[in-house]
């Protein structure tokens, strides 16, 4: 019996030298990327190509958030909030943290998930008001896909200005070491007004899901996907990357995940331009995200 000789494995198109050199595309891969990007709206930052997710005459958006990706019409898995009493908790302040009095709540969800919501009581001395804030946020969290809620343990609500914290207008932040999301409610409320609060949460929760050695920006598989795609969909992430490659990669995974979620699960709401641009721009990242978050 003759056995056909197995074909020699083709050389990888992407040379990914993990370390200082990072990853580079081969000439063949660059040509493929150019072909894939033909017809898309392209911007550049510091030599990095960005696919804009809005058509002209709108400006090329900074982030991948779109107010229709998740909104108040989506069902929430949130069930109830239980008072856990007053305690002390660390909040962001200045360049570090400060211990402050806090009201602790435990919110439950239909999938047997519980997330602690900790409200700064020094800023919110009225318990009922603090509980209302916890309930509002818990309702928004319940609209998030189950896959991104697996890593979050606690959400802290504080006012950034009151604690001398300069977030540069950032509405929220993720701290992977403690599986925490910080909500800076002065800016987060602005996101609510522009109907972007859920997208901010999705971005921060994506940080928690993808800020670890086995799933996320630091893995060979994700780095390989970024290089194979050869392009970014977030001017914000590309801008951060130009200054700090590691932090830029971290922002890229969160920003690209929001774009993925919008294009895959909300294509009729974000519109054809957004959805088609994402699909054409980042097919390798999409394939990566589908492994971790295949359903909405
Ligand atoms: Zn971020």
Compute the distance from residue 168 Cα to the ligand 1 centre, in Å.
13
Other C-beta atoms lying within 10 Å of the C-beta of residue 214: 8
Compute the distance from residue 254 Cα to the ligand 1 centre, in Å.
6
Compute the distance from residue 152 Cα to the ligand 1 centre, in Å.
15
Question: CA-CA distance, 248 to 240, in Å (whole number)?
Answer: 5
Compute the distance from residue 76 Cα to the ligand 1 centre, in Å.
23
Task: Tell me: pLDDT of 76 over 50.
Answer: yes
Range with the poorest average pLDDT among 2-6, 154-158, 182-186, 228-232: 2-6
* pLDDT tens digits for range 252-291: 999 999 999 999 999 999 999 999 999 999 999 999 999 9
Compute the distance from residue 251 Cα to the ligand 1 centre, in Å.
5
- Taking the complete model, does pTM exceed 0.85, yes or no? yes
- The DSSP code for 52 is -
Task: Tell me: pLDDT of 133 over 90.
Answer: yes
The closest of 211, 239, 224, 203 to 282, measured between CA atoms, is 224
Compute the distance from residue 75 Cα to the ligand 1 centre, in Å.
25
Compute the distance from residue 201 Cα to the ligand 1 centre, in Å.
10
* pLDDT tens digits for range 162-213: 777 777 778 999 999 999 999 999 999 999 999 999 999 999 999 999 998 8
Residue percentage of the chain with pLDDT more than 90: 79
Compute the distance from residue 204 Cα to the ligand 1 centre, in Å.
6
What's the pLDDT at 214? 85
Q: Are 116 and 104 in contact (CB under 8 A)?
A: yes
Range with the poorest average pLDDT among 19-33, 100-114, 272-286: 19-33
Compute the distance from residue 84 Cα to the ligand 1 centre, in Å.
30
Question: Domain residues of the chain, as ranges?
Answer: 37-70+211-292, 78-194
Compute the distance from residue 18 Cα to the ligand 1 centre, in Å.
23
Compute the distance from residue 246 Cα to the ligand 1 centre, in Å.
12
Question: CA-CA distance, 285 to 58, in Å (whole number)?
Answer: 25
């Amino acid at each position: 019996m003759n056995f056909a000789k197995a074909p020699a494995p083709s050389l990888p198109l992407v040379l990914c030298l993990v370390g200082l050199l990072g990853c580079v595309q081969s000439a063949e891969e660059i040509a493929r990327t150019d072909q894939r990007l033909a017809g898309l709206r392209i911007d550049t930052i510091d030599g990095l190509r960005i696919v804009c997710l809005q058509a002209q005459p709108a400006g090329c958006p900074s982030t991948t958030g779109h107010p229709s990706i998740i909104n108040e019409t989506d069902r929430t898995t949130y069930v109830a909030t239980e008072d856990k009493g007053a305690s002390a908790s660390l909040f962001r302040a200045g360049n570090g943290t400060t211990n402050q009095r806090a009201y602790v709540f435990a919110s439950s969800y239909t999938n047997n998930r519980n997330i602690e919501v900790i409200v700064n009581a020094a800023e919110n001395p009225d318990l009922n008001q603090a509980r209302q804030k916890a309930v509002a946020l818990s309702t928004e969290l319940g609209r998030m896909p189950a896959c991104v809620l697996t890593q979050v343990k606690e959400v802290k609500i504080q006012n950034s200005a009151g604690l001398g914290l300069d977030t540069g207008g950032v509405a929220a932040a993720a701290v992977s070491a403690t599986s925490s999301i910080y909500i800076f409610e002065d800016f987060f409320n602005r996101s609510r007004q522009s109907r972007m609060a859920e997208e901010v949460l999705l971005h921060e929760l994506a940080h928690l899901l993808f800020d670890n050695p086995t799933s996320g920006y630091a893995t060979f598989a994700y780095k390989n996907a970024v290089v194979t795609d050869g392009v970014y969909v977030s001017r914000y992430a590309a801008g951060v990357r130009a200054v700090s490659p590691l932090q830029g990669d971290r922002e890229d995974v969160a920003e690209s995940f929001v774009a993925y979620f919008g294009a895959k699960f909300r294509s009729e709401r974000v519109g054809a331009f957004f959805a088609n641009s994402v699909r054409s721009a980042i097919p390798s990242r999409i394939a990566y995200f589908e492994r971790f978050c295949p359903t909405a």
